[in-house]
Amino acid sequence: MGRYFFISILSGALFAIMDGLIHANPLARRLFAAYGPLAKTSVNVFAGIAIDIFCGFAMAGVFILLYKALPGGVAVAKGVSFGLSVWFFRVVMGVAGEWMTLNVPKEALAYRLVTGLVEMLALGVLYGLTLPAFRLSDMG
């Protein structure tokens, strides 16, 4: 239970840091200017961190549940396959929906695809390196 809790907090914090770096840099601000009319003028940083921590718990839990079914012979490969799966369902599908419904520059969508891939692979590798021998019975 302790390892799951620690890795969930760590991955949530890593998620928050990567989100900050990905969305607050000058390139991202320029690319995401198209969202200006829809974007909030300020961001609740504490709520964002809380959401990322919650997502860390959820993603670590899903990784543990899916571990045996994930492709790959070694734990890191399973982490990469998990990261690619999450990237597809979280990022690719979201970007495809925005491409179809919003007037957003293709460069912004490409940036989201690439940075989302890096982010999800980093989290997947973290889970693969730290949670491979974890069993659900360890939680109770």
The tens digit of pLDDT for each residue in 44-84 reads 989 999 999 999 999 999 999 999 999 998 999 999 999 99
Provide the number of structural domains found in the chain: 1
**Over pLDDT 90: what percentage of the chain?**
78
The pLDDT value given to residue 3: 86
Q: What span, in angstroms and rounded, lies between the C-alpha atoms of 138 and 140?
A: 6
Please, are residues 59 and 11 in contact by the beta-carbon 8 Å criterion? Answer: yes
The pLDDT value given to residue 51: 95
Q: Would you give the DSSP letter of residue 91?
A: I
Q: Would you say the C-alpha torsion 107, 109, 114, 116 has a positive or negative sign? A: positive
| Least confident window among 33-37, 46-50, 108-112, 122-126 | 33-37
Please, are residues 70 and 81 in contact by the beta-carbon 8 Å criterion? Answer: yes
Average pLDDT over the chain reads 91
**Domain range spanning residue 102?**
2-139
CA atoms within 13 A on the CB side of 44: 6
Q: Which of 115, 10, 98 is nearest to 55 (CA)?
A: 10
The pLDDT value given to residue 137: 52
> Can you tell me the mean pLDDT for 119-125?
97
In the chain, count H helices and then E strands. 6, 0
Position 36 pLDDT exceeds 90: no
